A and B are shown apart, each in its own frame.
Chain A
Amino acid sequence: MRDWRRDTRAHLAAARLEPVREEEIVEELAQHLADRYETLRARGLSDEDATRAVLAELHDADGLAHALMSVEPVAHRATVVEGEGTRGAGHVLGDLWRDVRYSVRTLRRSPGFTATAVLCLALGIGATSTVFGIVDALFFRPPPDIGNPGEIVRPYVSVKSAHVLMTGSSHTSYPAYVDWRDQLRSMRGLAAYADVSLSVGLGAEARHADGLLVSGNYFPVLQVRPALGRFFTPEENAGRGSPPVAVVSYAYWRGQLGGSATVIGSRLTLDGHPFTIVGVAPRRFHGIEAGAPAIWIPVSQAARVGFPADKLQQRQTFWLGLVGRLAPGVTRRQAEAELAPLVTRTMHADWGADVSPHVQLGPILAARGPSPSTQATIARWLALAAAFVLAIACANTANLLLARAVVRRKEIGLRLSLGASRSRLVRQLLTECAVLALSGTVLGLVLAFWGTGLVPAVGLPSLSFFAHGRVLVFAIVTALACVAAFGLVPALVATRAELASTLKEGAREGADHRSRLRSGLMIVQVALATVLLVGAGLFVHSLRNVQTVQPGFDVDHLLLSTIDLRSAGFSDTAAAAFYDQALERVTRVPGVRGATFVSSPPLSGSLSIVSYSVPGGASNESNGALDLTKAMEGTRAISVSVGPRYFATVGTPILSGRDFSGQDRPGSAPVVIVNQAFAQQEWPGASALGRCIDIGWKTDLTCYRVVGVAANAKYVNLEEQQRSAFFLDLAQNPAASRSLLIRTAGDPADVTASVRRALTDLEPNLPYIHLETLTDVLRPELQPRRLGASMFGAFGLLALVLAAVGLYGVIAYSVERRTHELGVRMALGARPRDVLRLVVRQGMLLTLAGLVIGIAGALGAARLVAHLLFGVGAVDPLTFAGVAILFAAVAALASVIPAYRATRVDPTIALRTE
């Protein structure tokens, strides 16, 4: 048959129409001519006559081109082919703009696809950006307002010997610090600092503030410039007699002190002592740790703010953090080599330990040093988890784009046949991806902003999101990387389309490689999501285990109150008198069931561990030579001095024997109550009552008789193994510091205000009274776990949803593609049930493959996080099985919906789609 297109095209040449539009007109007119030819033939004309008549009609239409020119170009709303650029060079920008506009139009035409793709990307980018905010603060962004942070180093000391085990400790004593500071040549300066809790003001006006004790060279070493006034002079750090001065933070200055310049030289009452404000730190400066101190004071003032008078002379307490600045041209290695012998000497002189410690200098960001916090470790894993979510989101989008590429292959084929270059088309498709990615980024950042608010406060200095453009830059770079990753392959696949086959409607061949690629992407998604879900399961499980630990006392109804009377200038007798009255007053507050004292409250991180010996006890049974290891570890136990009715107040039962009573007073026979773990360790299988424990210094040992055995409890943290502990009577052993423990009937937070009022009524000149519920005391301990559990949980669910959407898409697309086949099956007698099974089976096979790979991966990964888990093994069968079942159920649901649709296929329609 004649090619009417060629004839038509020849007549249109004069009109110089837009190529795509011309092609369309040619098709329509050629169709008309072909119809005319058929009609004429049907009327009995010969082929030759009919052709001649039709051509005559066309020739007759000499005015065709002219007539069209007066009408065209026409903006056709329904045309499929658009956006073809002008052929020829030099229109790159114009092409780009055209591409963008065309992409936006194309995407708006398929809202379902666009919404799904943008949402997938937004979730991926939102998740990674949220975590990037955390990771950036921990690992990449040096603390603000510090000069040349690259030169800053943090020393870490590790000792591993039979007697001492110290891993990456970054703390030391004051004499050791001074020693190292004065001898180190490889450092321009070595500074020391220690946290201090301050009470500002007195009586009802007293407030709490976080402070930092710092060595005189702290600010110069960090190269900080004051916002106002100055920092400390050498005389201000000369010793105990130095003038008491303080530097306040910018936020404290603005928020609490009025923000006026006259603050310099004014007085501040800290722990009852007057301090002169000499300077204000720069606005964002908070030192090198995560916290944000409000007040800095010279370390020489330690005794005025609650530290023991001889704290600076003590050689055996590691309480000062260190930070140094390398001298110009000195490497970390060289500085480590110089510091190591100094540390060795100190260890030998102060501890009598002949060890060779391993000294390392870490960077300013502790998270990147040799002993990162749990938080940092969890953040690392979160970053990986977020990357997984992003990968899943990208795979999902790539899948959607692949499916779309198949749907659009006719359009693409047509444009290729019209002479559009492949690179031009790829560019066009990539532009579409970029538009998707950009929309996803915007929505993702909104999600991240919202998500950051959901992240439980993790003790990071500033998680304020848009305070710095880094997250923004990160999100955009990630989005562009995604475009390259998920846009390129579908674009290449789409434009590879064979011209001949794609122009034919209903061509199903040639799609197999794409569907294999899609299945592959799907399996990867399921596998990654499985790993995340297993992670989520393990972390959630751990959190629940920690939360359900029995601490051994009634956490929910305890209020803890600490008052630093000694640094406020109370004499010991005055303090004792106050405490006695306070106990009585507090007990009368409505809602309070009882109160007692304790030298160091449980789980507050301030316990004393003392050595003891037990004549005839199990730990001394190794006769003969003194076992050094046992001397250092085996015969040390937690020692707590407690007030009257302590056990009844905190809710720890006495298992045998008695509580302390009024008869136990100074001068009467010394008594002790041990916990069950202590009794079992020292007198396994026998009664502990009446036994003797020697407590005290070697020269001055006193025999304490055991009068009771109390139930075990947690003392240092919730995750510890049972520790040995003994309790002394405060009446017989007055302790320097005391805390008030108050048992309440209801929520302890409800009585805080009335307890505070009762105490300030009693003594108007009290420093700040710390009042905390035990639940609050425990909160920081649970925080890294909460963070892990909530973030992994969120990411796991996200991954599950994304994978389910992806699976649904793959199955739905496959059902559509197989409509013909399914129609034939049903026409041949297949029941809906069979079709259902056929389709669901496909989805389940993909899921199963992904699950197997994912579980194998999770087995490997879980081992690596085992140290972060609590009470659950890395290979927890319950978690793994649960994830597999959950995933299988969701996958079944995701494939049943399109499968059900497949059963509704009307065979006659299905067969007519050809």
Chain B
Amino acid sequence: MLTTELKKGSAEFLILSLLEHEPRHGYDLCQLIESRSAGVLHFHVASLYPMLYRMERRGWIAGRWVEKAGQRRRRYYRITRDGRKALEAQRHSWKEFVRAIGQIAGVEYA
């Protein structure tokens, strides 16, 4: 249970981070997560999209159909102001978490 929640929490964190600087569509997000994690992390259609829709409903991201020259239309997601706040909060708690792990690990293995 804890792992599922942790995974879900970290996935949302990842998506918010990727959307921080530019809007991206679903497949783009999928590709980036896979390539930047060197294949360690992989999102399926079934896991990615329900998560995007949930985040959208929560008001963290906003989707919009965009047509670009020479392409079919895609749904692009951008981060909202609430999303940025959530991102900052998560960054903060991740840092705390990592620091705590480090301290504990330092105590254990120092």
Chain A interface size range = 20 to 34
**Is B88 part of the binding interface, using a Cβ–Cβ cutoff of 8 Å?**
no
Interface of chain B residues 53 through 86 with chain A (CB within 8 A): 53-54, 56-57, 62-65, 67, 69, 72-75
Residue B50 at the chain A interface, CB threshold 8 Å: yes
B47: interface (CB < 8 Å): yes
Are A71 and B46 in contact (CB-based, < 8 A)?
no
Complex Cα distance A914/B49, Å?
30
Contacting residues, chain A, for B64 (C-beta < 8 A): 78
Nearest chain B CB to A380's CB is how many angstroms away? 56
B30 within 8 Å of A (CB atoms): yes
Q: How far is the CA of A427 from the CA of B31 in the complex (A)?
A: 45
Contacts of B44 in A (CB 8 A): 57, 60-61
Against B, the Cβ 8 Å flags (1 = close, 0 = not) of A70-94 are 1110111110100000000000000
* Cα(A58)–Cα(B45), bound, Å: 7
Neighbouring A residues of B54 by C-beta, 8 Å = 71
CB distance B53 to A74 under 8 Å? yes
Complex Cα spacing A538 to B72, Å: 60
Number of inter-chain CB pairs below 8 Å? 67
Most buried by A among B45, B47, B72, B74: B45
Please give, as numbers and ranges, the residues of chain A lying within 8 Å of B53 by CB-CB distance: 68, 71-72, 74
In the complex, B13 has a CB within 8 A of chain A = no
Residues of B within 8 A of A781 (CB): none
A residues in contact with B46, CB < 8 Å: 58, 60-64, 67
B65 touches A78 (CB 8 A): yes
Measured between beta carbons, the chain B residues less than 8 angstroms from A68 are 49-50, 53
Minimum Cβ distance to chain B for residue A75 (Å):
8
B30 in contact with A70 (CB, 8 Å): no
Query: Could you tell me the distance in whole angstroms from the C-beta of B78 to the nearest C-beta in chain A?
Result: 11
Is B26 interfacial (CB-CB < 8 Å)?
Answer: yes
B7 to chain A, nearest CB (A): 14
| B62 / chain A contacts, CB cutoff of 8 Å | 77-78
Cβ-defined contact, B75 with A28, below 8 A: yes
- Taken together as a complex, chains A and B put the C-alpha atoms of A732 and B50 apart, in Å, by 112
Q: How many Å lie between the Cα of A885 and that of B46 in the bound state?
A: 68
Taken together as a complex, chains A and B put the C-alpha atoms of A28 and B49 apart, in Å, by 9
Nearest CB in chain B to that of A69: its residue = B50
Among B53, B62, B73, the most chain A Cβ lie within 10 Å of the Cβ of: B53
Tell me what chain A mostly uses at the interface: helix, strand, loop, or mixed: helix
- Interface with B: A31-39, A181-189, A678-686, which one? A31-39
Task: Identify which of residues 874-914 in chain A touch chain B, using a CB-to-CB cut-off of 8 Å.
Answer: 912, 914
Q: Does A505 contact B (CB under 8 A)?
A: yes
Q: Quick one: given A28-B75, A67-B46, A71-B53, are A36 and B65 in contact (CB under 8 Å)?
A: no
B1-40 interface (Cβ within 8 A of A): 25-27, 30-31
Segment 381-415 of A: residues with Cβ below 8 Å from B? none
For B45, give its contact among A57, A75, A77 (CB under 8 Å): A57
Chain A residue numbers with a CB within 8 Å of B74 are 28, 31
CB distance from B60 to the nearest CB of A (A): 13
Known: A64-B50, A74-B53, A80-B65. A39 touches B31 (CB 8 A): yes
A745 contacts chain B at the CB level, 8 A cutoff? no
| A70–B50 touching, CB < 8 Å | yes
Which residues of A sit under 8 angstroms from B27, Cβ to Cβ? 31-32, 35-36
| Residues in B neighbouring A912, C-beta threshold 8 A | 69
| Chain B CB within 8 A of A104 CB | no
Q: Which residues does chain A contribute within 8 Å of B49, judged by CB atoms? A: 25, 28-29, 32, 64, 68
Bound together, the chains give a CA A144 to CA B33 distance in angstroms of: 83
Interface residues of A in 643-683 (CB under 8 A from B): none
A697 CB, nearest partner CB in chain B, Å:
100
A74 touches B57 (CB 8 A): yes
The interface residues of chain B lying within 8 Å CB-to-CB of A76 are: 56, 63
Contact A74 B56 (CB under 8 A): yes
In chain A, what residue has the closest Cβ to B29?
Answer: A32
A29-B64 Cα distance, complex, nearest whole Å: 14
Which of A33, A63, A71 has the most chain B CB atoms closer than 10 A to its own CB? Answer: A71
Nearest chain A CB to B9's CB is how many angstroms away? 16
Query: What is the chain A residue whose CB lies nearest that of B68?
Result: A912
Docked pose: A78 CA to B63 CA in angstroms: 7
Q: How far is the CB of A597 from chain B (nearest CB, A)?
A: 88
Residues of B within 8 A of A74 (CB): 53, 56-57
Which residues of A sit under 8 angstroms from B73, Cβ to Cβ? 505
A67 to B44, CA, bound (A): 12
Beta-carbon contact of B26 and A32 below 8 Å: yes
* Whole-angstrom CA separation of A57 from B54 in the bound complex: 21
The distance in angstroms between the C-alpha atoms of A72 and B25, with both chains bound, is 19
Q: Which of A30-70 contact B (CB under 8 A)?
A: 31-33, 35-36, 39, 57-58, 60-64, 67-68, 70
Nearest chain A CB to B100 CB, angstrom units: 32
What separation, in Å, do the CA atoms of A27 and B57 have in the docked complex? 19
Tell me the complex Cα distance, A71–B51, Å.
8
Contact between chains at B65 and A67 (CB < 8 Å): no
Most chain B beta-carbon neighbours within 10 Å: one of A28, A70, A78? A28
Q: Which of B26, B57, B67 contacts A28 (CB 8 A)?
A: B26
Q: Contact at A29–B45, with CB atoms within 8 Å?
A: yes
Q: Shortest distance in angstroms between B85's beta carbon and chain A's nearest beta carbon?
A: 19
Selected contact of B57 from candidates A31, A60, A71, A80, CB within 8 Å: A71
From 1 to 34 in chain A, residues with beta carbon under 8 angstroms from any chain B beta carbon are 25, 27-29, 31-33
The answer to whether B30 and A32 have CB atoms under 8 Å apart is yes
With A31-B72, A71-B50: A64-B45 Cβ-Cβ less than 8 Å:
yes
A505 touches B67 (CB 8 A): yes
Closest Cβ of chain B: how far from A82's Cβ, in Å?
14
Leading 9 A-B pairs by shortest Cβ distance: A61-B46, A67-B50, A64-B46, A35-B27, A71-B53, A912-B69, A71-B54, A78-B64, A32-B27
Cβ contacts A to B, 29 pairs, < 8 Å: A28-B49, A29-B49, A31-B74, A31-B75, A32-B27, A32-B30, A35-B27, A39-B31, A58-B46, A60-B44, A61-B44, A61-B45, A61-B47, A62-B46, A63-B46, A64-B50, A67-B46, A70-B50, A71-B50, A71-B54, A72-B53, A74-B53, A74-B56, A74-B57, A75-B57, A76-B56, A76-B63, A78-B65, A505-B73
Q: 4 new A-B pairs (CB below 8 Å) besides A72-B53, A78-B64?
A: A31-B75, A36-B27, A71-B50, A78-B65
